[in-house]
Structure 1
Amino acid sequence: MPEIRHVDWSRLFSPRYVAVVGASDTEGTQQRAQWTQVSARLGALGAEVVPVHPKKPEILGTKAYPSVSALPADPDIVIVLVRDALPVVEEAVNRNAGFVVVFSAGFSELGTAEGDAADAKLKELASGATRIIGPNTNLNIFEPWPDGLPSKKKLAIVTQSGYQGRPITQAQALGVGIEIWATIGNEADLEWADFVAYLATHRPDIGAIATYVEGFQDGRAFQLAADACAKAGIPIIAIKVGRSEEGRVMAAAHTGHLTGADAVHDAVFEQYGVIRVDDLDEVIEISNMFCHTGLVGGTGGIAVYAMSGGTASHLADLFGAAGVKIPKFEQSTVDALEEYIPWYLRRDNPVDSGGAITARPENRKVLELMLDDPNTDVLFAPITGVFPGMSDALARDLVALHQKFLAGEGKPVVAAWISPIRDEAYKSLCDAGVPVFHSFGAAVRGLSELGRYSTFVRDYRSPFEAETGGPASDERSSARAAARDLLAGATGAALNEVTSKRLLAAYGIPVAGERIARSADEAVAAASGYGYPVVMKIVSADIAHKSDLGLVVVGVADEAAVRATYDHLLAAAASAAPGATVDGVLVAQQVTDAVAEVILGVSHQHPFGPTITYGLGGVFTEVFKDVSFGVPPFDADYARSMIEATKGVKLLRGTRGRHAGDIDALVDIILRVQALAVDLGDQVAELDINPILVRPAGKGAIAVDALVIPAKP
């Protein structure tokens, strides 16, 4: 099983000796402020913090050293504030520094040859035991955070932009304690995955990780870190730039990252439970909620308490549009609410209290009945506008119920404060640690994710530990050897269809019976052996989309038709692709009972590597683009979810009297393609199997066309 990179984090978080290169005592300079901050913060941890300056014997009363080489001891941390960072980093590496924090910019984010060369040199210096943070970062990782805030657990923040992280830290105003804020810059060495994996495995007080990301250096490292979070039940709430072309261009200019195919990122996020949002408010408020509530039992059933019918209707509509079902109360709950809610108001979920009871003491009983209902896992109470006597009374009730929850005596409560006015009632919610949203949209998203992620964690099986299916180990070993032999003999830009399908067959992927005919007589003999009708098509590695050029004929019904089709295909190929090398005419069995045509493909998607694409196949692949993605490793359940994620699954379930397709056989083929992609990722640049004909349930599925493009040496 792949492992998370080992890092001796103790030298970063419990340092004994720290050097600050570029420390200054010049009034008003950034270097003076940074020296003052670092010496105070790391000194408070018990570290000896010394300045390094080539000319000054001391900085603000602390003895200075002319260089890192002149330090009396090997430093745990070297902080580089000077512009010309590379010579200092090299000195630090030679002094066995544990960590070097490079504040300086001027590396790959410039997009210049000079910047790329500097970045390459920094990576080279990071090849040993010394770990590098940055460049183009800041020193927030050393920032102290106040204790005593009311959240059950603390928030960790990992950002590739310092300024994007600052508003997230201000979630402290909502009662959330901050565990750490790591700003990681260009990631010449230590990357997002290193920090997130460390947090998941070494910081048990974390309730959520909030992150702003422009790209991931290593897809497998990301998967391992996200897997560690899923196993620990720590949600990652992420803004990931790269949805638009403009965002991708800016991300490259900002940190030098390639953001990769956005849809593939979404698929991997789904696989590991990462919650992707678009707005900083959503990051802050959803992270806040998880830190205050933790995960919930059940499916995350939401009880909605509204002070008006309009609010109840609005929220019911928003939850419904988001695909979140508001559970009905048990009849016993509805009957009990009759004592408090008048007959003309709604007593089932969502409850319309009418407002009047909100200011009365018995309102607490209404909320408790809603929480006690067995279909409820969390209570949501929107406060739509400050109305003294009602909003403050509801806030008091929510605070009291939240305190019971913290004492282990109830279920969580969540509020929404939909008003620009922030009065004492609002402050009381934040001070008590009641999670607060500031819009219906963010609240609906957050509450839906609370139930979804809680269920996800309960059901999660690490793909690195689960059986991924596909060929058995001995079968896979021989398949790998046979496939590598086929690829080693490749001489062109692509394998022809026959050789491509031999590679599939090596991995146990069913293919149609077929023969290459190099004369009309051979074609007739092949067709007679398979039985009519047959399929006939040109075999050429130089012609990728044969059907588009009329070079595939189905339903060839007899000997005369075979001879005529043979001559027609050769002539059509010579006309449509006069420079192509034609290896003959393929005569193949015709599958006549297919329920649906699907496509399976393998491509390399940065930063994840071999990626499986599944979708509706045949001539409609490019028209509908109804596809889903899977990044290995994944198991049979995930392969099935790839099928379920497409609209075309309706064809496979059987519609309008048609047979249901053999989805089990299709799942098996996906797992075999995954094995092929993992084994041959270094030799196969692309693979298309299009179409795969899915036959009725119990009869299997069969690949009838394939294209393999070998990787360039």
Structure 2
Amino acid sequence: MSHRLSALLNPSSVALIGASNNPARIGGMPLDLLRHFGYAGQVYPVNPKYDEVFGFTCYPDIESVPAAPELAVLAIGAQDVTSMLRRCHAKGVKAAIVYAAGFAEMGGDGEKLQAEMEAFVEDSGMVVAGPNCMGFANLNLNLYTAFASVFRAVPQQQTPGRVSLVTQSGNVCSAVFALLREQGIPVSHFINTGNEACVEYAEYLEFLAQDPNTDCVVGYVEQLRNGQRFIDVALQFAEADKPLILYKVGETEKGSEAVRSHTSALAGNQALYKAGLKQLNVIQSNDFAQMADLTMLSGFRHREGGKRVAIMTLSGALGAILADKFIGAGLDIPTLPDDVQQTLRDGIPDYGMVSNPIDVTGNIVNNPDFVRSVFEALAQTDSIDTVVVYASGSLLDRMADPLLEICAKYPRLFVAIDTGKATCRDQLAAGGVPVFTDIGRAVQALSPFCHWLAGREQVARWTALRQNTVAVESHQLDRLNEYQTKQLLGRFGVPAVAEQPAASAEEAVTAAQAIGYPVVLKILSADIAHKTEAGGVKLRLQNDDAVRSAFAEIMESAGRYDPQAKLDGVLVQKMSAGIAELIVGVTHDEVFGPALTVGLGGVLTELYRDVSHRLLPVDESFARNMLDELKAFPLLDGFRGRPKADVAAACKAIAALSDASARLGSEADEIEVNPLQVKAVGEGAAAVDALLLGSKIAG
């Protein structure tokens, strides 16, 4: 595989600078591991103290090494790192790993040391991992550059690795690696990224997306330094059907208060990370054991499964327990069709359930032919995606042959839970049936895995949508008032309520007469975003005199509120009501770029935080998915006899705002429609208020 990280992760020769003959020291442990596991490449310890280390000839300095090693591992102090990197580069070394701490994570002088190292790397083109990095392992090459004792503590691999670990913590890497090996899962790459001064997280993922020895990646992330690159590589994983399992920690809401826009407050880092990872079909985990179980399940990703689960047990109680747990974890337990229920009833007594969960009762073990027919019915019905079979110990053993037979015949995902000591576990796993030994762990792993299986089509659709790039248009965005903003958004298909600007009281009266009473007057100024606070809104005006009086009051109040503000008069709007009001806003996230937030509009938006997020772009279908996610969606769908809202029109407006964002590009820091008034079915949706922050203002 041709990739610039190959010299770092698949080198044919290694030098260890700062070598030690003590296997407990960081300069000795990797050499001990290389010798113990039988690395076939050249190994060059470097330290003037020794002639030989762990059976390898030791050299006094890098210049004395007989050939240029592909990779150099630096087990030396932080202050000596950059000068040694220069010497390695002069020798012809392509890549290096820096163990030393004491760089940017220390602040002060450490930041200066890291800046010096980064400048050298930028100038030389050398690939440098770390600093503050435990090192790596390529277990398929028996290549160990990490000072981690875990490699000797777990069973040695007997089969080629298929899973790679990439973490921003060395200790997490070791802990999860140990759990994977305890389950017998073979690992390909063990990668700890450290400070990521020169090689950041997404670049390691790019390497692994292309690596033929990696069909699943398990990762731990505290911070993504290049969000756009991460999006691109996550989509590569999706296209290659490689699960990406991430434990993401350390998200916090944006520290700065949203002064000009509600959307910024709603689209905080934590919420957007979760929404973005879900949209990219990244499997999110929050537990080491769950990560190991998900990795095990990744070996069965070619089975056809999804969120609709059928539960088959020999116990009504266990069926009820599993149903509650799976539904609580976000999976569906659909009622089986009548024809399937009838097939099941042919061999299940009246006191056994057949609707789902399926209680086949203890009688089933006496009739292996009927067991086969149950499995076959569940494998063939279109009403479900995944089948979970709970049978303990010898009861599962008696079902194993028909289960394996059906799995060989049909691609449906079957999963077994055995809380006893069945002897068929390995046989089932080899035949395509993963086996869990604990109900809680089964639920905790199956839920995100089934969502991943179901999410593959959606992420493929978003990939295609994202590839339909649009040309960015040039607009003057730094001084737009509300009317100008809505006129601009209207060009992209975002509808607005009936309205006219007015620079004088008489113009306001003329506009009101044309629009038709009752009307609303609002201050029109690019400098006043929150109009109510400025006394800049007057509602339900019924006649000309009321409009004249309101105009005078608004202008006087707004002038007092902000004497420096440029006042363009007022905006005269038709007073109208809808079924519901939405807030729809675009922000430019510092990690992921443009993102859309949709929620229920009005004064309670920030209190309830009932919002949905997506990375842009979105179309009408994705907009509908976002609305469906809102707890308040029933208010749009005829809740308690209310008229149904024009959801299709709302989705069209949301998609149009996404298009506007794409065409305006990064010049539009934030765009917000609040509220988007959604009327009854067939009557449309329209922006009542809108705000656009150009980059010059936001800067």
Give the shorter-chain TM-score range: 0.7 to 0.9
Whether the 8 Å contact between 1:39 and 1:49 is mirrored in structure 2 is no
- 1: CA distance, partners of 2:366 / 2:563: 84
Whether the 8 Å contact between 2:597 and 2:612 is mirrored in structure 1 is yes
Query: TM-score w.r.t. structure 1 length?
Result: 0.82
The alignment status of 1:674 with 2:669, answered yes or no, reads no
Whether the 8 Å contact between 2:308 and 2:331 is mirrored in structure 1 is no
The letter of the residue matching 1:465 is A
- Residue in 2 aligned with 1:607? 591
- 1: CA distance, partners of 2:493 / 2:342: 61
- 1: CA distance, partners of 2:645 / 2:240: 38
The alignment status of 1:124 with 2:137, answered yes or no, reads no
- 1: CA distance, partners of 2:368 / 2:500: 84
Whether the 8 Å contact between 2:20 and 2:28 is mirrored in structure 1 is yes
* Corresponding residue to 1:108 among 104, 108, 118: 104
- 1: CA distance, partners of 2:680 / 2:341: 47
- 2: CA distance, partners of 1:441 / 1:620: 37
1:144-155 equivalences in 2 (<5 Å): 144=140, 154-155=162-163
Q: Per-residue displacement from partner, 1:17-66 (whole Å, max 9, x unpaired)?
A: 3211111124642321222224565x63x421212225544434433344
Q: Per-residue displacement from partner, 1:480-537 (whole Å, max 9, x unpaired)?
A: 22x2x343xx4xxxx5434444543454433445554443223223333434333212
Q: Per-residue displacement from partner, 1:529-578 (whole Å, max 9, x unpaired)?
A: 43433321223344321124442112322211111111221233345x15
Q: More deviation in 660-669 or 302-311?
A: 660-669
- Residue in 2 aligned with 1:256? none
Whether the 8 Å contact between 1:79 and 1:102 is mirrored in structure 2 is yes
Give 3-state SS (helix, strand or coil) of 2:520's partner: strand
- Residue in 2 aligned with 1:251? none
- 2: CA distance, partners of 1:339 / 1:405: 19
The alignment status of 1:527 with 2:492, answered yes or no, reads no
- 1: CA distance, partners of 2:26 / 2:466: 54
The alignment status of 1:284 with 2:285, answered yes or no, reads no
Q: More deviation in 77-86 or 167-176?
A: 167-176
- 2: CA distance, partners of 1:162 / 1:27: 18
Whether the 8 Å contact between 1:598 and 1:693 is mirrored in structure 2 is yes
Change (3 A) 1:13 1:26: closer
Q: Per-residue displacement from partner, 1:388-422 (whole Å, max 9, x unpaired)?
A: xxx43234346546754775666544233447xx7
Q: How many residues align?
A: 666
> How far is the alpha carbon of 1:218 from its aligned partner?
1.1
The alignment status of 1:345 with 2:352, answered yes or no, reads yes
* Corresponding residue to 1:209 among 209, 212, 217: 217
Q: Per-residue displacement from partner, 1:681-705 (whole Å, max 9, x unpaired)?
A: 5434333322222344454433232
* Corresponding residue to 1:314 among 306, 321, 329: 321
Change (3 A) 1:270 1:607: same
- 2: CA distance, partners of 1:187 / 1:275: 23
* Corresponding residue to 2:530 among 538, 545, 550: 545
> How far is the alpha carbon of 1:223 from its aligned partner?
0.9
- 2: CA distance, partners of 1:163 / 1:359: 50
The letter of the residue matching 1:189 is C
Change (3 A) 1:545 1:338: closer
Whether the 8 Å contact between 1:211 and 1:237 is mirrored in structure 2 is yes
Change (3 A) 1:357 1:500: closer
Q: More deviation in 236-245 or 129-138?
A: 236-245
* Corresponding residue to 2:555 among 567, 570, 575: 570
- 2: CA distance, partners of 1:524 / 1:550: 20
- 2: CA distance, partners of 1:399 / 1:438: 15
> How far is the alpha carbon of 1:83 from its aligned partner?
2.2
Change (3 A) 1:202 1:591: farther
- Residue in 1 aligned with 2:580? 596
- Residue in 2 aligned with 1:138? 134
Whether the 8 Å contact between 1:599 and 1:614 is mirrored in structure 2 is yes
Q: Which runs of 5+ in 2 are unaligned?
A: 143-155, 254-266
1:312-711 equivalences in 2 (<5 Å): 312-329=319-336, 334=341, 337=344, 341-355=348-362, 358=365, 365=372, 368-369=375-376, 371-374=378-381, 375=383, 377-382=385-390, 391-397=392-398, 400=401, 404=405, 411-418=412-419, 434-461=433-460, 463-466=462-465, 477=472, 480-481=473-474, 483=475, 485-487=476-478, 490=479, 495-505=480-490, 507-512=492-497, 514-575=499-560, 577=561, 579-590=563-574, 592=576, 594-655=578-639, 658-678=642-662, 680=664, 682-711=666-695
1:57-206 equivalences in 2 (<5 Å): 57-84=51-78, 85-110=81-106, 112-127=107-122, 129-144=125-140, 154-169=162-177, 170-203=179-212, 206=215
The letter of the residue matching 1:20 is L
> How far is the alpha carbon of 1:613 from its aligned partner?
1.6
Give 3-state SS (helix, strand or coil) of 2:462's partner: coil
Change (3 A) 1:7 1:184: same
> How far is the alpha carbon of 1:604 from its aligned partner?
2.9
- Residue in 2 aligned with 1:29? 25
- 1: CA distance, partners of 2:284 / 2:495: 38
Change (3 A) 1:73 1:674: farther
Give 3-state SS (helix, strand or coil) of 2:93's partner: coil
- Residue in 1 aligned with 2:153? none
- Residue in 2 aligned with 1:388? none
Q: More deviation in 210-219 or 455-464?
A: 455-464
Q: More deviation in 186-195 or 216-225?
A: 186-195
Q: More deviation in 330-339 or 685-694?
A: 330-339
Q: Which runs of 5+ in 1 are unaligned?
A: 246-258, 384-390
- 1: CA distance, partners of 2:5 / 2:596: 36
Q: Per-residue displacement from partner, 1:250-287 (whole Å, max 9, x unpaired)?
A: xxxxxxxxx97111011112211122122222111122
Whether the 8 Å contact between 1:260 and 1:607 is mirrored in structure 2 is no
Give 3-state SS (helix, strand or coil) of 2:16's partner: strand
- 2: CA distance, partners of 1:707 / 1:378: 46
The letter of the residue matching 1:567 is A
Give 3-state SS (helix, strand or coil) of 1:30's partner: coil
- 2: CA distance, partners of 1:438 / 1:122: 49
In angstroms, what is the RMSD of aligned CA positions? 3.7
Whether the 8 Å contact between 1:467 and 1:635 is mirrored in structure 2 is no
- 1: CA distance, partners of 2:198 / 2:220: 18
- 2: CA distance, partners of 1:600 / 1:187: 36
Change (3 A) 1:343 1:505: closer
- 1: CA distance, partners of 2:345 / 2:637: 45
- 1: CA distance, partners of 2:11 / 2:92: 14
Give 3-state SS (helix, strand or coil) of 1:465's partner: helix
